[in-house]
Amino acid sequence: MWRQVVALIVKELLVVLRDKQSRMVLVGPPLIQLMVFGYAATYNLNNVPIAIYNQDNSAPSRDLVARFTGSPTLQLVAVLHSDRRIDELIDSRQVQMVLVIDPRFTQSLLTRVPAPVQVIVDGRNSNTALLIVGYVNTILSEFALAWDAAHGNPGPMAVLDMRARYNPTLNSQWFIVPGIVAVLTQVVTLLVVGLSVARERETGTFDQLLVTPLRQFDILLGKCLPGILIGVIEASVIIAAAVWWFDVPLRGGLSALYLGLFLFVIAVTGIGLMISALAMTQQQALLGAFLFMVPSIILSGFATPIANMPAWVQDLTLLNPMRYFLVIVRGVFLEGSSVSSLASQYWPMAVIGVVTLAAAGWLFRRRAY
Amino acid sequence: MNAASLRRLRGLLRKEFLQILRDPSSLAVAFVLPTVLLLIFGDGVSLDARNVPLALVVERPDTLTASFTSQFEHSPFFRPRRFFSIQAAERAMAAREVEGIIWLPSDFTRRAASSGNSPIGVIVNGADANNARIIEGYLQQAWANWLVAQARADGRPSPLPLAAQPQVRFNPAVRSRNYLVPGLIAVIMTLTGALLTALVIAREWERGTMEALMVTRATMREILIAKLIPYFLLGMGGMAASVAIAVFLFDVPLRGSLAVLTGASALFMLAALGMGLLISSFARNQFVAGQIAIITTFLPAFILSGFVFDINSMPGAVQIITHVVAARYFVAILQSVFLAGNVWSVILPNAAALAVMAAIFLGAARIVTRKRLD
């Protein structure tokens, strides 16, 4: 019996790997996407174009301006001499921020009245706006601290001593790149599995499979394992790239990671097989794969936290295997999580895998004749 | 285009419209899909941290520490929990029960009263770096407010030498939904555009009716135009539904004019349909077509369009790549038209880019799609 299943697996792999175009699609695009998205998907601030309008031409205000122009994150593109161009620069997106220093800046500092500093930010991307405001606040606090120290002022009674665990420099690439492992693994596995049965049905070879000595369980197994194999290999390549190319620290054990990966790929395979069993043509299977993939990526916590979603959407995400795998990948990579601390993430994926595979099997039986 | 050609076109159009009306699946893709997706995503996609679980460790409680911690009790941003030791709080963070820790050591009040600069320990979980930065920003704000309030209560001058006045244009409440929902419309319309055209051409091949069309006198150009017009109208209908949802359900302000929005949407829809046509006539088998469709439509529209991730912050090489993503130009126009108004310096260059992309995709699709039998 095993010989026959192995033969079916070999045949499935050949179908995907024999065609040059299909082979290319499995190898090239995921790697290109990893490279492009690994750098593109960032919440770090870089090259933020800014303009400065300094109405107080004195040593302290020039010192403050120097702290802005010297920052590697900000890029000075315009020095203003009146407030006329501020709106135009912001509206046309030539700058994302304008710093306006009040004419009474130095006078206020010396008389210990809070010196007004206006920070105008383009809010069309409100997340970037928040990050810029936070970054500017840090520069202003550093300036204030240095000013107080140099002028013998007592300083505030308490200061914040902020630290970040697991990712001390708050590099968002460490968060996104492990997420890409999950996204790309799902895309590849879902397409390999999702189209396999629909393809056979469309070309009529599914009926031929049914009249072979293989039992239905064997056929199901033969359809699953190639997808699982390709998914795990693809994921391994991306994990290797995350560690050696993107230098994301891998703090936990590979066993915790691969247990999660294995369960995730099984769950995705189950969903792919269900789509495949429901679809009459490859076209429909493709549509189904698309319709599952888009919400599963957007509602997975990949780019926006699940905690920010309203309760009913959060409940919906419980059905999404990627949600659990993202916690596992990021936990193992950054926090060094162990198998036991991730137990609550493993079992829901196992349940999803078992249920979808059983449903796919049932659908096959119903659709077979 | 002569009279005979026009007559053929009219006949083909009639066929397409009848097909759409009789087979609800394309209506579903054009209207139901975008509205359902927008309803779920519009509610689900948010970067505004609310109710962040926060550990408070106060080693020696007194009135000063209480004045600091009380501001977290009724804040919409935080859900504070008390811990009796920093070790217990750290364990809770490791178990992902809290996202941040505020630690007031036992000598906090003594140092605040004597030398000043008494340290308040803040530890955030940095795994989600963006969320961590947002939480740090909230805490910084809370700290500054507390210092000013304390000084005022004691009748002292403000302890901070600078008074920063941040002013967030176009979105003063810094609601992330206001910029994410317009971006989502671009992502969803990319998807529907590609899916619609996938339906358009592939269905004819599948049913064998493409061959029937080929033996008629209709030219490939007429067949393509007859396909494009009805699906273009369907796509625009879906677009209108999405805009209505954004404005009336999600309260995103629409400050620009509807005419500009319609014009930009029409250009984008043409580009998206053209791309879909190109893909569906390019790839030999459906597995490859599917991979290409996902690689060239949904994922770039999601990641490379400026929808969530700011294009300015990407490395130079990646910024160049974003120029071939049609959604990039549409997202820029949508964010400006919704939040800022008719800013011509943003709209015109991006609309021109969309027009160029639409021309290239449609032209290429016309060249690639031939009367062929295989």
**pTM score > 0.90 for this model?**
no
The domain segmentation of chain A, as residue ranges, is 2-41+171-368, 48-150
Among candidate residues B293, B179, B284, B130, the one with its CA nearest the CA of residue A293: B293
Residue B291: closest CA among chain A residues belongs to which residue? A25
Percent of chain A with pLDDT over 70: 99
Which tens digits make up the pLDDT trace of A240-294?
A: 999 999 999 999 999 999 999 999 999 999 999 998 888 877 777 877 888 888 8
Helix (H) or strand (E) holding B163: strand B162-169
Task: List Cβ neighbours of B58 (8 Å cut-off, separation of 6 or more).
Answer: B65, B69, B82, B104
| Min Cα–Cα distance to chain A from B360, Å | 23
CB contact under 8 A, A43 and B120: no
Residue of A nearest to B165 (CA): A118
Q: B127 contacts in A (CB within 8 Å)?
A: 165-167, 174-175, 330-331, 334-335
Which pLDDT score, from 0 to 100, does residue B288 have? 67
**Cβ-Cβ contacts under 8 Å, A195 against chain B:** 286-287, 290
Residue-wise pLDDT for B232-244, tens only, equals 998 899 899 999 9
pLDDT for residue B198? 67
* Residue A139 with chain B: CB contacts under 8 Å: none
B373 pLDDT exceeds 70?
no
Which run of H or of E encompasses A48?
strand A48-54
Average pLDDT over residues B207-220: 79
Please count the other Cβ atoms lying within 10 Å of the Cβ belonging to residue A348: 17
Q: What is the mean pLDDT of chain B?
A: 86
Pairwise CB contact (< 8 Å): B308 & A335: no
Averaged over A139-149, what is the pLDDT?
Answer: 89
- ipTM of the prediction: 0.85
Q: How far is it, in rounded angstroms, from Cα A343 to Cα A330?
A: 15
- In this predicted structure, the answer to whether residue B307 has a pLDDT above a threshold of 70 is yes
Report the C-alpha gap between B329 and A49 in whole angstroms: 19
Residue B205, exposed/middle/buried by CB under 10 A (0-12, 13-18, 19+)? middle
pLDDT of residue B206: 66
pLDDT of residue A262: 95
Residues of B in contact with A47 (CB under 8 A): 312-313
Across the interface, of B33, B129, B164, the residue whose CB is closest to A175 is: B129
pLDDT over 80 (residue B208): no
Question: Beta-carbon neighbour count of residue A43 at 10 Å?
Answer: 25
pLDDT digits (tens, 9 = 90+) for A195-205: 777 777 777 78
Contacts with B335 (C-beta within 8 Å, 6 or more apart), sequence order: A124, A125, B179, B182, B183, B306
What is the pLDDT at residue A212?
80
pLDDT score at B269: 92
Q: Enumerate the residues of chain B whose CB falls inside 8 A of the CB of residue A168.
A: 126
Which of B40, B68, B169 is nearest residue A121 as measured by Cβ atoms?
A: B169
Q: Report the percentage of chain B scoring pLDDT > 90.
A: 30
Strands A74-80 and A48-54: parallel
Residue A369 has pLDDT above 70, yes or no: no
Give the confidence band of B372 by pLDDT, cuts at 50, 70, 90. Answer: low
Confidence of residue B258 (pLDDT cuts 50, 70, 90): very high
Average pLDDT over residues A136-144: 90
| CB contact (8 A) between residue B304 and residue A29 | no
Residues of A in contact with B45 (CB under 8 A): 298, 303-304, 309
- Average of per-residue pLDDT across B309-315: 87
- Of 3.90.79.10, 3.40.50.10860, 1.10.8.290, 3.40.1710.10, which CATH number belongs to A48-150? 3.40.1710.10
Nearest CB to B167 within list A120, A134, A293: A120
Looking only at the bridges linking them, the beta strands covering A97-101 and A115-122 are: antiparallel
pLDDT in tens, B264-303: 999 999 998 888 888 777 655 566 666 677 677 778 888 8
The predicted pLDDT at position B55 comes to 94
Q: Mean per-residue pLDDT for B4-26?
A: 84
Q: Is the pLDDT reported for residue B75 higher than 90?
A: no
CA B314, CA A36: separation in Å to the nearest integer? 10
Q: Decide the pairing of beta strands B100-104 and B118-125.
A: antiparallel
Query: Who wins on pLDDT, B25 or A184?
Result: A184
pLDDT in tens, A64-119: 999 999 988 899 999 999 888 898 999 888 999 999 999 999 998 888 888 889 99
How far apart CA A308 and CA B52 sit, in angstroms, is 9
pLDDT higher than 70, residue B371: no
Nearest CA in chain B to A172: B129
d(CA B275, CA B324): 11
pLDDT tens digits, B244-253: 999 999 999 9
Output the pLDDT for position A367. 67
Average pLDDT of every residue of chain A: 88
Domains of chain B: 3-46+175-368 (no CATH), 52-154 (3.40.1710.10)
Query: What average pLDDT does range A14-27 have in this prediction?
Result: 76
Q: By the 8 A CB rule, do B166 and A116 touch?
A: no
What does the pLDDT average to over B337-366?
92
How many CB contacts within 8 angstroms connect chain A with chain B? 361
Question: Residue B74's pLDDT band (boundaries 50, 70, 90)?
Answer: confident
In which band, very low, low, confident or very high, does the pLDDT at A356 lie, cut at 50, 70 and 90?
very high
Most A-contacting residue of B98, B162, B200, B320 (CB-CB within 10 A), to test interface:
B162
| Stated length of chain A | 369
